[in-house]
Structure 1
Amino acid sequence: MDTPPEIKEKELVRESTQDHLHTGDTQTTQNDKNLNISDSMASSRTVSASPTPLRRMSTRGRMRSDVGSVLAHHSSVGDAASLASIDRPPSEEEKLPASKIYHPLSFPVIALLMPASIFGVLARLGLQSITTFDERSIFPLAWVQAGGCLIIGFALGMKEPFGRFYGPLYTAVTTGFCGSLTTFSGWQLDIFTSWINGTGAHRDWFRDAIDGVGKTVFTLAISLSAVSFGAHLSTLIVPVCPALPPPSRWMRYMLSALGVCVYAAAFPAYFRLPAAYRHEATAALLFSFPGTLTRYLLSIQLNPRLKLFPLGTLVANTFGTALLGTFQVLQSLPAGDTLSAHSCAILRGLADGYCGCLTTVSTFAAELDALDNRRAWLYVTISWLTSQILLAVILGPSIGAGHVARQATCTY
């Protein structure tokens, strides 16, 4: 039976409509694919244009610092274990094999802290000596803090290459050398000396306050900038740094033995060299390693226990500042009660050696850079206020009552 013309016309219209819809669906699917490809390309461009590994965003949306990104091997930089890792030798977080991981208290680690402490103290005393002169523009401790913070920032960025070569060398550079080169207690005593005009400068109380605030603000600014600059320099060196073969077993034994011998040589140097060198350097060398070891043990034991801020570094810095204030009182007794030259040299050695190595600005600045803003401000405020209060309690009554001089009266 023939189909009526009206029905044929309707069927042709229906088929053409379906063909048109099918073509439209195909084009829509193709467009969706193109959009997906474009989105993926844009995403890849966004990833490639993202900050370098040492400038990542933290989980709170804050731009993470260089040091914070270096420590971001853990789930969060705010993790207490991440902050404690500043002092520890490279571990599995740096993706090292088990054969290259050293326990924080192993003998190779402790042995290399000995010469590093010696060289750190010598560098600090040398820098202070050559930067102390009349009409200077920058106070001497600024050079000391800047140098140590620059080196520790660089070493933090090189932690993985250090670990692949020889892990204890990292702790020797950061905890040993940089921690002994910089001094938190010396910084705090310098600030307190400005408050009381301990140098006897011709100025009023307002200039005394300006001097103390300036040493506070500029030391923090210089130290934090130096840490970040050092970490930035490491990003330029790591890609081109050759992978050095690790030292052999006998070479590792030799390094440990040499480290012990270097520190042991400080004892004959104190007794055999002229007595004039004792208060200048040799007495400080005797107490350098004990100060570094005390700080290192406090860091290992206490830093992982508190997430808010590094408790071990806080205890080391404040305790060392209190000790330095006590030694300053003993060195500033009136003329009739002055100590012997030998006692004065030992006190000077305890101040420069033990207190100088027990307290540190380099690790302190690296920890500040790794903390988020709120905890960093809390950490620096507690550290600064506690130290100044301790010095006021120890030095204030003695100076106010006239029992001690504002400057050291020891004779060598």
Structure 2
Amino acid sequence: MQEREDALAEEEAGLDELAAPAPDDNPNEDDYYQHESLESARHRADVSPIKGERQTKSRLESSLTQVYIVSYLIFFSIFGVLARIGLQALTIYPGALVANTDLWANVGGSFIMGVLREDRLLFRRHWREHVQNAQKNAGSSPANSHRGLDTSDTPDQENIMDAARKSFTSARTGIPAYVGLSVGFCGSFTSFASICRDGFLAIANDINTAPISTKQAGVEFRTRPSGDSVMALLAVIILEVGLSIVALTCGAHSATFLARPAEKVPVLNLSRMLNPLIVVLAFGCWLGATLMTIFPTHDVWRGRVLFSIVFAPLGTLSRFQISVHLNKLVKSFPLGTFAANVLGCCVMGMSYDLQMSSAGSAILSCQILQGIIDGFCGALTTVSTWVLELDTLRLEHGYFYGACSIFAGVGCFTVVMGSVKWTTGFVAPTCSV
């Protein structure tokens, strides 16, 4: 199993959800902050030798694992989008403090990503195997490997645990459930495109605050100076990005804090039972939702959810493939995540334009466009991976990458949506009433 995980780790090294070091890369609380950058983690994976014969054998044996990974991505993308839509319904209420559509989802998904990157509980069976291998390679006795995260003050033991941690981080690519949770659920639960869309709407003074207003909305449009529009954009960016980064770190701290108590929980090997079950559930749920869209979907909530479920796996699988092939091209700039986020912004902007025009006058077309916005674009773009990359890249690279992503995303919406907003104007979509 170790050989298969190593081969998959090299083949899919572009997934930054798996390649990046943990946000809280200092579980022993040393005198100064020890943090490995994403670039150095990628370099270590690139120079790690894997024998050709073993790699060929592992790839032949990993075909079933690839099926499991795709199934987990489909399954968790569906539930990630459902969780985001459900959280919108809970957090958009009269008197709510902010009108940002997916603020709570972005914060929650980033928190879960932080937990997963530091986790030693959900996948402890794999973690202990890497501890045993590290002890074996170091020539020490694996008798105490059941202690899992327990470390001594000796340099040898610290080096063993550090080697096990790096090996376990690299090998997570071969664990279908971990790929499904991090790439599938967290990536679909969060939405980078919604941040950029809300940023443009803040510039255009068109954020809909009626659902959270405690007073009846008036019909009179209130203009404001351009400087106030800049402040509104900054408020959206600072609030969304800042809280997501804080949530990522808090999630990592929570996982580190719970690591030792979690060792008392018995280890269960559920993969043999869950993996085949997820294949049936994933494709069954996807097919079932697709068939249900054949029937009339005049109910706003039912139509929005069904079409979002249909389009969500397409967005997640597209982001997965884009990241696998493009992220490893430039170590200091995650090109795959950047391309997926920008592409999602463009598609969301065009869908929003169509929905706010005569094309969205029919309820069915309006619901399909809403499904593309919530399902495909929401799953194609991700905040959890993006803030993980910001946190683990070297400082100058992280700031450059973050600024380019924000400028490109908001710029796409400004061009695509602004050309309609400032010419013909928007009309209320049929499926919103």
TM-score for the superposition, normalised by structure 2:
0.70
Deviation for aligned residue 1:52: 4.0
Deviation for aligned residue 1:161: 4.8
1:254 is matched with 277
For the pair 1:187 / 2:210, whether they are aligned, the reply is no
2:390 is matched with 368
Distance 1:109 1:387 in 2: 29
For the 8 Å contact 1:184–1:356, the answer to whether it is kept is: yes
**1:220-275 Cα distance to aligned partner (Å, 9 max, x none):** 11000000000111112222323523226354322322222222221233334743
Identity percentage of aligned residues: 27
2:11 is matched with none
1:137 is matched with 97
2:66 is matched with 106
Distance 1:249 1:164 in 2: 13
For the 8 Å contact 2:111–2:247, the answer to whether it is kept is: yes
For the pair 1:281 / 2:305, whether they are aligned, the reply is yes
For the 8 Å contact 1:270–1:278, the answer to whether it is kept is: no
Q: Larger Rg: 1 or 2?
A: 1
Distance 1:331 1:270 in 2: 19
Aligned with 1:238 (options 246, 259, 269)? 259
Deviation for aligned residue 1:113: 1.1
Aligned with 1:305 (options 325, 329, 332)? 329
Amino acid at match of 2:399: W
For the pair 1:146 / 2:103, whether they are aligned, the reply is no
Distance 1:322 1:354 in 2: 12
For the pair 1:390 / 2:412, whether they are aligned, the reply is yes
Q: What is the total number of aligned residue pairs between the two structures?
A: 332
Deviation for aligned residue 1:328: 0.9
1:249–1:262 distance in 2 versus 1, CA, 3 Å: same
Distance 1:259 1:142 in 2: 27
Aligned with 2:39 (options 71, 78, 81)? 78
1:223 is matched with 244
Write out aligned runs for 1:305-384 (5 A): 305-334=329-358, 338-384=360-406
**1:101-138 Cα distance to aligned partner (Å, 9 max, x none):** 96797011110111201111111111111111233213
1:104–1:120 distance in 2 versus 1, CA, 3 Å: farther
Deviation for aligned residue 1:80: 6.6
Deviation for aligned residue 1:347: 0.9
1:132–1:202 distance in 2 versus 1, CA, 3 Å: farther
Aligned with 1:164 (options 122, 125, 129)? 125
Amino acid at match of 2:279: S
TM-score for the superposition, normalised by structure 1:
0.73
**1:302-331 Cα distance to aligned partner (Å, 9 max, x none):** 111111121100000001001111111111
Distance 1:83 1:126 in 2: 40
- The structure showing larger relative contact order (alpha-carbon pairs under 8 Å, at least 6 residues apart) is 2
Distance 1:54 1:345 in 2: 51
Q: Report which stretch shifted further, 338-347 or 140-149.
A: 338-347
Question: Which secondary structure does the structure 2 equivalent of 1:135 belong to?
Answer: coil
